[in-house]
């Protein structure tokens, strides 16, 4: 059986402008690989309502699970929660459970829960809250979409809250052989071995370092015996 599939929707003008480098995709990919969930697609979209709605609807329809990051803070351009409600036909307002979490957090720090901060308690009616042990403001799950903060430390904490609730598959195993040859010399035998093992994923990743060049030949799969056999063939071919 194939592993469950996932997609990620990264939301924010700051990512597309190059002002902010996204770290969340890299982290999520590693966590999902370990859990046996295949991250099959990542989209990056601007802070535009119609674009966000269309993207999340498309991803939710095509993958078992969707993760979003960004746009659930207290400022005017944080529109993700409203977009998610609209995408799934739900109403949205300040919810008592989310408000209570924020109230307790700001009371503890002696900070006012003002109107701007209260925006982070606006949650779609039927969504389930995602715990945020870092800064308290919750994310939420709506149908098969997990809506999370863009701040990496908070995103990581929310992923830790969500992953145990998901059904995974067999972890994806990976082995690498480093070959100090040009890809033009590697391509023929490497392609033949890849063709002989269609259930494995094989890729060549060239490098040049300290005057030396070559390629990392990476083999991925779920069957340890088959993976070891293929690695043996590669080692023999490029020894």
Integer angstrom CA distances of residue 182 from 165, 186, 238:
45, 6, 12
How many helices (H) and strands (E) are present in the chain, helices listed first?
Answer: 9, 11
Output the six-digit token pair for 174: 């990976």
Give the count of alpha carbons within 13 A of 228, CB side only. 3
Strand, helix or coil at 1?
coil
Q: Among residues 50, 55, 51, which one has the least CA distance to residue 68? A: 55
CA terminus-to-terminus distance, the chain: 35
Q: Which pLDDT value is given to residue 1?
A: 57
Q: Which pLDDT value is given to residue 172?
A: 85
Evaluate if residue 207 carries a pLDDT over 60. yes
Strand, helix or coil at 22?
coil
pLDDT in tens, 1-25: 588 999 999 999 999 999 999 999 9
State residue 174 phi and psi, 5-degree precision.
Answer: -145, 135
Q: Which pLDDT value is given to residue 7?
A: 98
Domains of the chain listed by start with CATH number:
5-165 (3.40.980.10), 173-237 (3.30.70)
Output the six-digit token pair for 108: 């503890």
Strand, helix or coil at 209?
strand
Per DSSP bridges, beta strands 128-130 and 145-148 are unpaired
Evaluate if residue 209 carries a pLDDT over 90. no
d(CA 176, CA 4): 25
Output the six-digit token pair for 220: 């991925």
Q: What is the dihedral of CA 38, 42, 47, 50, to 10 degrees?
A: -80
Per DSSP bridges, beta strands 38-45 and 5-11 are parallel
d(CA 239, CA 232): 10
Residue with tokens 């830790």: 160
User: 212 falls in which pLDDT band (50, 70, 90)?
Assistant: confident
Evaluate if residue 234 carries a pLDDT over 90. yes
pLDDT in tens, 70-127: 999 999 999 999 999 999 999 999 999 999 999 999 999 999 999 999 999 999 999 9
Residues with Cβ within 8 Å of residue 5, at least 6 apart in sequence: 37, 38, 40, 63, 64, 65
């Amino acid at each position: 059986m194939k592993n469950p599939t996932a997609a990620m929707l990264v939301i924010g003008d700051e990512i597309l402008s190059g002002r902010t480098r996204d770290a969340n995709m890299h982290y999520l990919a590693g966590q999902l690989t370990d859990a046996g969930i295949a991250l099959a697609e990542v989209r990056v979209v601007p802070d535009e309502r119609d674009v966000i709605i269309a993207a999340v609807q498309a991803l939710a329809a095509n993958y078992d699970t969707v993760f979003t990051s960004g746009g659930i803070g207290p400022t005017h351009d944080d529109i993700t929660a409203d977009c998610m409600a609209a995408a799934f036909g739900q109403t949205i307002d300040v919810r008592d459970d989310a408000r209570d979490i924020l109230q307790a957090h700001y009371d503890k720090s002696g900070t006012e829960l003002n109107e701007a901060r209260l925006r982070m308690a606006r949650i779609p009616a039927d969504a389930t809250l995602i715990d945020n042990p870092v800064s308290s403001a919750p994310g939420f799950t709506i149908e098969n979409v997990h809506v999370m903060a863009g701040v990496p430390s908070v995103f990581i904490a929310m992923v830790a809250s969500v992953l145990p609730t998901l059904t995974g598959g067999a972890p994806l195993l990976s082995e690498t052989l480093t070959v100090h040859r040009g890809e033009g010399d590697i391509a023929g035998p490497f392609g033949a071995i890849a063709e002989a093992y269609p259930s494995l994923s094989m890729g060549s990743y060239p490098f040049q370092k300290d005057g030396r060049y070559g390629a990392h030949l990476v083999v991925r799969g779920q069957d340890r015996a088959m993976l070891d056999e293929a690695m043996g063939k590669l080692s023999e071919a490029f020894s």
